[in-house]
Structure 1
Amino acid sequence: MSLELFIAVAEERNLTHAARRKHLAVSAVSKRISELEEQVGSPLLVRFARGVSLTPAGQSLLFYARQVHETLKRLDNELSEFASGVKGHIRIHAITSALSQFLPQDITRFAALYPNIRFDVEERVGSAIVRAVAEGKADLGIITDSTRSQGLETVPYRRDELAVVVPAGHPLVSSSRLHFEEILEYELVGPHADSSVHTLISTAAEAAGKPLKLRIRISSFDAICRVVSAGLGIAVLPRSVVQPYRKNYQLRAITLQDPWAKRSLQLIFKKHDFESPTLRTFIDSLTACEE
């Protein structure tokens, strides 16, 4: 390709060295450069006894030639990956809500279509996820819209709804809807202090001017349901997380009317990483599942 040959000449500043680099005769290199100059309609090189330098037209052509060369190289890599089936390795850091509700099923669905892609999935709190993506330790993060994305690219993923979880026989069990302020007189079973749910309920309690009566902190949603079932407090959890435990643990999920109880989960990534066909295909799959 003439542009690729011109790049070699421009970088070597010598026709002989460029010819050796491209495994061509010097006369062939000189002929191709002359043909380029004829197409451009302007000299590209100033020739000296021991080398060459670029004219202003040559400098301009070098700039665009490198861009074209890089674009074609990325295109070739991308098409070759798709030709043999999308392959790769995606590192995901996600909050507990995403891991407990949506992500496992979405990965399973995607893996059925692209079995050559490997996944590393880690559970983290929102702020740690943002940091990991920004530092390149994760390719993709899943956080709530209440967590600041610090300039990373974001796209909507799913929505969830927080509900008040109470055991059988609790004074609130007959309620159909509640405001968060109404539950503050009861002892709570809460998630760990860095979780997005804890941040929300702490902020809401502060706004109501009342303290959180946190009796127990547990990081696992499953364990929270078990502890609530044992009568050690009530909790605020995503409604769909509670659903599998309602019958066996005799739990009731009561609608929480506060606006912050309806949350948007978001995918976060670096713009540069989105150029990877593997990650882009996976993100497209996740956003197509948005409800």
Structure 2
Amino acid sequence: MRHDLTSLQLFVTVAECRNLTRAAERAHLAVSAVSKRIAELEAQAGTPLLQRLPRGVVPTAAGQSLLRHARSVLQQLRALDAELQDFAGGLKGQVRLHAVATALTQFLPGEIESFLNRHPQVLLSIEEHTGAAVVRAVASGDADVGVVSALTPLRGLVGLPYHADRLMAGVPPGHPLARRRRLAFAELLDHPFVGPHADSSLAQLMVQAARAAGKPLRQRVQASSFDAMCRLVESRVGVTLLPDGVLRRAAAAGTLHAITLSDDWAQRQLLIVLRDEDTADPATRTLVDHLQAHAQRADPAGAGARTR
């Protein structure tokens, strides 16, 4: 069947008014025109859609089915029109973004700046959390989108490829390892650590890597921010493990040395996480597309299929 939207709207009006005359008045049409539209619908359906009563009409069983679907179709079309109007006047909306520190310190600031320059009417709310907390927030609806390490269990969320980053060792000037350009994590374990927050994905990765190396992880201090970890290493409290983009800034200033790790797991993949791509609102979907486009340009080989 091919349905005419005007006829569907008229049928809904008739069903709500339960009277052809009142429906015609509401639609600003002649009663004969409304009656003709209903007759055409019934001819297409091959069954009566309205039961004629002495003082009006009521939908038949088939008419009730048509009424339910017609209302759904018309509601979706109104939503479509509203979204297109938003795009015509500039993208609007509010997006709640939760992300791990790795993404917030290396990639998101510049990408968010360019997104807001392009879409100034979008309001972004940004919070830093551990990977597990980001997944919980997105799953519960407290956040619209998140960025986590690929090692974080997604608990049924959709994971889209984002940037890859590399973990590096950070040691203070004058440290026995300071002249090394490359080393294995097992060698770093011979020295006391300045570690990250215990609940972070980085902390969990370090514990797993130490266990695999058969050596204890001696964490002298644990700090909640990358900046604090760098400052503690600069103060010779211990060595650390941090993303390349974080350590190289401090290394460029000469306050510590950044050393490449030879371990394969030091190369990490970040993911953008959503509850459902298809139901994301336009502002969220546009932000996700923007972030993925930047990551694709930075590392074309890093893009891959979505995960759950």
Judge same fold: TM > 0.5, yes or no. Answer: yes
Report what 1:276 is aligned to.
281
Provide TM-score, normalisation by structure 1.
Answer: 0.90
Say which of 19, 25, 45 aligns to 2:23.
Answer: 19
C-alpha deviation, 1:132, in angstroms: 0.7
Q: Is the 8 A contact 2:50 2:60 kept in 1?
A: yes
**Alpha-carbon distance in structure 1 between the residues aligned to 2:270 and 2:12:** 46
C-alpha deviation, 1:220, in angstroms: 1.2
Report what 1:230 is aligned to.
235
**Alpha-carbon distance in structure 2 between the residues aligned to 1:121 and 1:274:** 21
Range that drifts further, 14-23 or 172-181: 14-23
1:164 has 2:166 as partner? no
- Alignment: residue pair count: 289
AA in 2 matched with 1:253 = A
1:53 has 2:54 as partner? no
1:199 has 2:204 as partner? yes
Cα 1:272–1:177, aligned 2, differ >3 Å: closer, same or farther?
A: closer
Q: Secondary structure at the match of 2:253?
A: helix
Say which of 242, 245, 263 aligns to 2:250.
Answer: 245
**Alpha-carbon distance in structure 1 between the residues aligned to 2:37 and 2:151:** 59
Alignment RMSD: 2.3
Query: What is the correspondence of 1:55-134 to structure 2 with a 5 Å cutoff?
Result: 55-56=61-62, 58-134=63-139
**Alpha-carbon distance in structure 1 between the residues aligned to 2:22 and 2:159:** 45
Q: Is the 8 A contact 1:46 1:55 kept in 2?
A: no
Q: Is the 8 A contact 2:50 2:59 kept in 1?
A: yes
- Structure 1 gap segments, 5+ residues each: none
AA in 2 matched with 1:265 = L
Q: Secondary structure at the match of 1:212?
A: coil
AA in 2 matched with 1:155 = L
**Alpha-carbon distance in structure 2 between the residues aligned to 1:218 and 1:66:** 56
Deviation track 1:46-80 (CA, whole Å, cap 9, x = no partner) reads: 33446423343x35534543443233122201110
Q: Secondary structure at the match of 2:273?
A: strand
Cα 1:194–1:65, aligned 2, differ >3 Å: closer, same or farther?
A: same
Deviation track 1:70-99 (CA, whole Å, cap 9, x = no partner) reads: 331222011101100001111100000010
C-alpha deviation, 1:24, in angstroms: 5.3
Range that drifts further, 162-171 or 23-32: 23-32
Q: Is the 8 A contact 1:15 1:26 kept in 2?
A: no
Provide TM-score, normalisation by structure 2.
Answer: 0.86
Cα 1:19–1:214, aligned 2, differ >3 Å: closer, same or farther?
A: same
Cα 1:196–1:20, aligned 2, differ >3 Å: closer, same or farther?
A: farther
C-alpha deviation, 1:171, in angstroms: 1.1
Structure 1 ranges of 4+ moved more than 6 A: none
Q: Secondary structure at the match of 1:150?
A: coil
**Alpha-carbon distance in structure 1 between the residues aligned to 2:280 and 2:242:** 36
AA in 2 matched with 1:53 = P
Report what 2:179 is aligned to.
174
**Alpha-carbon distance in structure 2 between the residues aligned to 1:129 and 1:15:** 54
Q: Is the 8 A contact 2:169 2:261 kept in 1?
A: yes
Report what 1:209 is aligned to.
214
Report what 1:187 is aligned to.
192
Deviation track 1:16-67 (CA, whole Å, cap 9, x = no partner) reads: 69729945579354443223223444322333446423343x3553454344
Q: Secondary structure at the match of 1:93?
A: strand
Report what 2:48 is aligned to.
43
C-alpha deviation, 1:167, in angstroms: 1.3
Cα 1:149–1:8, aligned 2, differ >3 Å: closer, same or farther?
A: farther
Report what 2:10 is aligned to.
5
Q: Secondary structure at the match of 1:289?
A: helix
Q: Secondary structure at the match of 1:182?
A: helix
